[in-house]
Amino acid sequence: MTRLSRVWPVGLVSQLSVLFCLALLASNLIGMALLHRHGTLLHPLSRDASLGQLVAAYHVAHALAPAQAAQLLSVMGDGQARFWLDEKADVEPFAARREEQRLAHDLRARLPLPTQASLNVQLERANGADARTHLLSASGWAPLRLRSSLALGNGQYLNAVQHPSGAYPWRTLLAYSLPVTTLPVLLVLIVCINRVIRPVKSLAAATERVSRGEWIAPLPLRGAGEARDLTRAFNTMQASLARHVEGRMRLLAAISHDLNTPLTELRLQVELLEEGPARDDMLESLGELSAMVRETLTYVREDAVQEATCTVNLNDVLGELTRRYQLLGQPVTWPDSVDIRLRCRPLALKRALTNLIDNALKHGTSAQVAVREQGDSVVLEILDQGPGLPEAWLEKVFEPFVRLGPSDHGLGLGLAIARSCIHAHGGELVLQNRQPSGLCAVIHLPRGD
């Protein structure tokens, strides 16, 4: 099965075409086997000619003297037939098959033979094999040979060996029937299947784009009824998803915006209090809460703007990003040695990478960026030299507003925003501990070709 799966075509058109050709070949082989086992073996014209030659040879042998008859019979023979007189029958009595019985019956009807006169007709292959031997064997393709022995009533026998034509010259029949029956039907099959497959291919490409966070125009309804129904369902699904996402964004933006008013009032009231540790703690808490609301508003605002998707050179994106950090004196390294084309939203991808690099610099003192290709995906890795994370926290840190502890002065949104951006591209972001120490952020992104 493994070897078959390697050569078996992947496309539906190719698979159906191969299956159709195999079915047509099987049907021809079955027909050949049935006709070879139960059909007439001799061509009708060749059969009549062979019986006519035997009748003529019998009349010659019966009417002339043995010497004259032998001379004339030798002249009657050619490359396909030979006649001779002998005191011994070349074909001894045997259990005749149906085809041979019909030949003997027709020959008796044409000759004035007594009922008790010996007449043996044997149909076989030229190599001596059974005439109806297995078709797939080499003997089954050998030419036919008809051997006959007729008693003349004077102690002599008329013997004959003839080579009649078969009823089914398989090589010639298949050479014409297979191309003539296969090519037109295969052409129609390919055209019809392509008409069915084309909308499905368009739908698959559109689905892949939507999985990367793109919103596309409704697909046109084309093809068969089932393909139209599938396309209509996809258009409805995309419209529902767009309304759902837009509604959630508006709700979140409204909530975040409305929180600014009471926060401002609280800050004014706290600032009117007497100075002291309690007042400072409250102002610090209000500052963190305001930063969270501000960050949330920024995230919602940027996510609501649908950035156009385009094909970029990943080497240029990462090179620009690392140079920006290096100008600020940050230890960010990038080998700058790949030429990978990636279909993405550049600003959103830069935002995710910036958050991950900032996280690596904050907790690991340095950041190293690596890229490799893996099948149809691109794998980016941001490595640091920090202490790493407990296994239980490797997934938990992606939740919004989750911080590692009191010493973590961030808002807990960086990793959540980074994963959201990667998911919007149809990719995946995970964290892995390195050995002996350090953390690795692994990004899997589809090429999106």
Complete DSSP assignment for 278-297: HHHHHHHHHHHHHHHHHHHH
Cα–Cα distances in Å, from 286 out to 268, 271, 295? 11, 11, 14
> What span, in angstroms and rounded, lies between the C-alpha atoms of 219 and 210?
12
Confidence (pLDDT) at 39: 65
Confidence (pLDDT) at 420: 82
167, pLDDT greater than 70: no
- Each residue's pLDDT tens digit, 258-301: 777 777 777 778 787 778 888 877 887 777 777 767 766 666 65
430, pLDDT greater than 70: yes
36, pLDDT greater than 70: no
> What span, in angstroms and rounded, lies between the C-alpha atoms of 31 and 242?
58
Q: How many CB atoms are closer than 10 A to CB 303?
A: 19
Highest mean pLDDT: which of 1-10, 21-30, 40-49? 40-49
> What span, in angstroms and rounded, lies between the C-alpha atoms of 359 and 74?
107
Highest mean pLDDT: which of 94-103, 183-192, 202-211? 94-103
435, pLDDT greater than 70: yes
Q: How confident is the model at residue 229 (pLDDT cuts 50, 70, 90)?
A: confident
- Each residue's pLDDT tens digit, 332-376: 888 766 678 888 888 888 888 988 998 888 888 889 998 888 888
Q: How many CB atoms are closer than 10 A to CB 58?
A: 22
Please give the average per-residue pLDDT across 207-223, as a whole number: 76
| Residues 280 and 314: beta-carbon distance below 8 Å | no
Mean pLDDT score across all residues of the chain: 80
Q: Taking the C-alpha atoms of 444, 358, 256 and 266 in order, what is their torsion angle to the nearest 10 degrees?
A: 160
Q: Point out the least confidently predicted range of 31-40, 81-90, 139-148.
A: 31-40
Please give the average per-residue pLDDT across 435-448, as a whole number: 86
Sequence-distant (≥ 6) Cβ neighbours of residue 145 within 8 angstroms: 123, 124, 125, 126, 161, 162, 163
DSSP β-ladder status, 367-374 and 332-333? parallel
Identify the residue whose tokens are 């390195």: 434
Cα–Cα distances in Å, from 186 out to 94, 164, 175? 49, 37, 17
What the block records as the tokens of 85 is 């007189």
Confidence (pLDDT) at 389: 86
Question: Domains in the chain and their CATH numbers?
Answer: 40-166 (no CATH), 215-306 (1.10.287.130), 308-446 (3.30.565.10)
Interaxial angle between packed helices 225-271 and 170-211, expressed in degrees from 0 to 180 and rounded to the nearest 10: 20
Which spans in 158-273 are helix H?
A: 170-211, 225-271
- Each residue's pLDDT tens digit, 142-165: 888 999 999 888 888 999 999 888
Please give the average per-residue pLDDT across 103-120, as a whole number: 86
Please give the average per-residue pLDDT across 49-71, as a whole number: 88
10, pLDDT greater than 70: no
Highest mean pLDDT: which of 134-148, 202-216, 221-235? 221-235
Q: How confident is the model at residue 446 (pLDDT cuts 50, 70, 90)?
A: confident
Over its C-alpha atoms, the chain yields an Rg (Å, rounded) of: 45
Asked if residue 436 has a cis previous peptide bond (ω within 30° of 0), the answer is yes
68, pLDDT greater than 80: yes
